[in-house]
Structures are given as C-alpha cells and as structure tokens.
Amino acid sequence: MRAPSSAVPVPDEASSSGSSGASRRVGRVVVLGAGMAGLLAAAAAARHVGEVVIVERDRLPDGLEPRKGLPQARHAHLMMSGGARAVESLLPGTVEGWVSAGARRVPLGTGLVAFGPQGWYPRWPSTQFLMACTRDLLDLVVREKVLALPGVVLRQETDALALLGDAQRVTGVKVRTAGSHSAEALEADLVIDASGRGSQAARRLNELGLHPAHEETVDTGMVYVTRIFRAPPGSERFPVVSVQADPHGAMPGQGATMLPVEGGRWLLTACGTRGGEPSREPGEFEPFIRSLRHPLIADLIAGLEPLTDVHLTRSTVNRRRYFERLPAWPDGFAVMGDAVATFNPVYGQGMSVAAHSATAIRGLLAEHGVAAPGLARRIQRAVGRAASSPWDLATGEDINYPGAIGERPPAAARLLRGYVQRLMRTAVVNPVVLRSLYDVMTLSAPMTALVSPPVVLGVLRGPGRDVRNEPSITPAELAVCGLGPRGRS
C-alpha cells in the first residue's frame, strides 16, 4: 500500500459516482492536519461538499513508516471497538482493510490478559474488541481510503499561516507551500483545525479578536518507552497482555502493555509517572518490566530478539481546551481531535474520540449544510460532548498519582470516583459489571451505562472475597513462550 503524492486531483463528481446527487454537492471544506482526526474529518465532509482540501505541513510516508509529525506513533495505540465502528461508518471496509494488512481484531475480554489495580480481570466474553497493530498501519489504511474519495485533495508540505475572515465568520485560511515565496488564500465554507497537540487554534482565534478558551491540564509526568520484539513461533493468536499502573498506591504508577502487531512482532510499551520513569537505555528496559506489580510480561519476553531500539516519549499530559464554552464563536471554523483534548495514551481514547467527533460532523453537515449559520458552533459543542466523558475518566484517575499536577475534582466528582473505584473492584468478579465497564472504556456506550440498575446492584453488593490472584493466561499460551505454570521451562 502506498500513499498518494503531494496533490490529488479532484475527479469529476458526476462521472466518478454515476449519481446526480453527487454532482449537486457544492462548497469547500479545508482540514488542517492529515493525522487520524483530520483524515476522519475529511471523510465526514467529503459526502456532503464538492471539495475537501487537507493541508498537511509534513510529507507523509509512502508506506508503513512513522509520520514525521507524530513521534508518539512508535508506542502502543489501541483503536477500541467504539472508535473502530465509528471509523467503519465513515469509511466502510476499514476494519477489514486493517485485518487484511496484518492487524488483529482482538475480542474483549477473551483476548486480553490484564492485571488491574484491583486484581486480574477474568477473560469473560463481551461484544467489544480492539484492533491490535501499529499506529502506522491504522493511519495508512485510513489515509488511502480517504484520499480515494471523490473531491478530496491532499496538499503536503504546506503550512497554515492564518485564518481568513473576522470574529463573525472565517472564510478560509492563508497557506504557504514549501518552496514558495508567497502565501496563498485558500477560501472555504468551513475550516476544521485537526492539527493535533501543536494546534495554533487558540492563537488564531485571539488574532481574530476572540477571548481565549478556558484550559485545564492534569500532568502525571508519565514517560513512555517502547521496544518491538520478534514474536515466538505459534503466537499468532496470542492475547494482549497488560500490567496496569495503580493510581492509588503510595509509589509512582508503573505499567506496561504487550500488543501483538503485524509482521509476527510484539510491541511492548511501558510507562512510569513522576519519580518512577523508565529509561531509554536498552539494558534497563527488561529490568523495568520485571519490576512492575507482576513479572508476567518480563517472563514472556525473556530471551526474545529485540528488533528496535528503545523509543521514549514525554508528551503525555492531559489537556482540555473548552472552545465550546466561548461566548462568541465564528461561523466557518471548528476545532477537533488533540487540538481540543489530549489524553494520557494509556487509556487508548484519543483516536476513538476523534472518530466519534467526525461522525457528529457528518451528521450536522447532512442536517444543516456546510454554509448554514451556526453550523460551526454546533460542531464545536458536539466535539466537546464527545471528549467530555473520556476526559472525566482519564483525569479522574490520573490526578491520584503521587506528584500529579492539576486541579483536584470537585466534591461531586470525588463522590463519583468512589463509586467508580468500587465498580472497578467489582468488575473482576461480576460479569455484568465487567461488560458494562468494557462498553464504556471502548467508547461503545455512554457513562450512564455504569449506573444502569443491574450494574448499580452489582456495585452495591461489591466484590466480596472472590478477587482473582493468579494471571488469567492459559498453560497453552505460556507454553508458546517456553514457560510452564511455575516459570520458564
């Protein structure tokens, strides 16, 4: 699979689709950023306007390589089932495209061996799943599908310099392509900023004379390191294995996730909060894994061939910009993805939030049309709603780590947190509670699923004394790695 070059011509609408409805599509949407959020926004818009222009400052890779503007791509990325279904609704055939390219559709929880803060999660079946592969593969399949849509144009190596218009309406964006000495005015009915953590949306709104948005951060100081190993023979159906950090302990939180990825490899990402950070030194990688709350992952990788160096990332702060709360918002401009909310990657929420935001954009474009007054504010509020529950879940946990920096939640939120903690303890012994937890954590159900009558009843009864104390990995799975029930053979 190869990504198209720097510009993709706009096909004739009528001839490419054979539909008179397609030929009537009018208007232009400009999307800033060709990451996952930007590509999905482009897919959402392409069904309802004549042209979608994606502006990307970097040159995108031709194949399965890390994108220059995404250094964290080397770490484990989990596309949860709620996000995968949203992507599939935008780009039919994507899940099969991922699988055909080497990804695995791992069922939860039969395909997950996880040691949570409250104990080992049982491997009961549920309706949820996750996609196990590298971030590069996730991006490449989506990118190829989006750039094949009628009316989509990719402009690589092009910088967005400023918004056009005023505080009432944005009319486009000023851009400059690499090698050009002059800027170009790119007019649009709607500009969507999906340019990620480095987004300049706040500054650009300020340049238009609008007030700055309220911003919140929760920073655990978490550091991520990743190394890829050659998987042992016979491990094609091996589960995802996770030893999770405990945010409520007295020591820094440390954890790891081992993800089977394409090419017969295991991708292992470890993390540690402030005061317990891992090192990028290769000789310290396995000792760090062995020092976790349980040594299972260290046992599984012992003796395996490492295929990469150790890659380290520090940019893991949770950051939320409340653009939807601004008293005034210009028509013709919206912000989504990491430009609105960035999450600690351990929760695997970012891509799924972007996918749900994109489906909301698609629905609003279908209902109101790209030029409708107030459309941009509707989009911004929908994006804010998509980020709200994942933000509460991520920061409600992260603020508990020793040394975490951020505003403590209000009393009502602390009360909810107590309920969630009891729910998490109950989930390791109660299948109804565990399935509801999977539904919410994979963004397949709203937070209200955690307070449905059957779940509340289970939480009130509590976990009792039946918490599992042994890993939920099977003897056959251990044997794949040369391990017996008591360790390495």
As a whole number, mean pLDDT of residues 68-92 equals 90
Q: How far apart are CA 220 and CA 398, in angstroms?
A: 6
With CA atoms as reference, report the closest residue to 64 among 153, 143, 148.
Answer: 143
* Whether residue 206 has pLDDT greater than 60: yes
Residues facing residue 227 across a β-bridge:
268
Do residues 431 and 127 lie in contact, with contact meaning Cβ atoms separated by under 8 Å? Answer: no
Q: What pLDDT is stored for residue 371 in this prediction?
A: 93
Q: Where in the chain is the domain with CATH 3.50.50.60?
A: 13-72+135-217+317-394
Q: Where in the chain is the domain with CATH 3.30.9.90?
A: 221-315
* Whether residue 11 has pLDDT greater than 70: no
pLDDT: which is higher, 206 or 316: 206
Domain covering 221-315, topology = D-Amino Acid Oxidase; Chain A, domain 2 (3.30.9)
* Whether residue 14 has pLDDT greater than 70: no
pLDDT: which is higher, 346 or 41: 41
How many CA atoms lie within 13 Å of 174's alpha carbon, on the beta-carbon side? Answer: 8
| pLDDT tens digit sequence for 282-301 | 999 999 999 999 999 999 99
* Whether residue 234 has pLDDT greater than 90: yes
| HEC profile of 291-341 | CCCCCHHHHHHCCCCECCCCEEECCCCEEEECHHHCCCCCECEEECHHHCE
Which pLDDT band holds residue 468 (cuts at 50, 70, 90)?
Answer: low
Q: Specify the range with the lowest mean pLDDT, choosing from 4-18, 209-223, 305-319.
A: 4-18
Q: Strands 190-193, 28-32: parallel, antiparallel or unpaired by DSSP?
A: parallel
As a whole number, mean pLDDT of residues 441-448 equals 94
* Whether residue 158 has pLDDT greater than 60: yes
Evaluate whether the domain defined by 13-72+135-217+317-394 bears CATH number 3.50.50.60: yes
Scanning the structure block, which residue is given the tokens 């950090």? 245
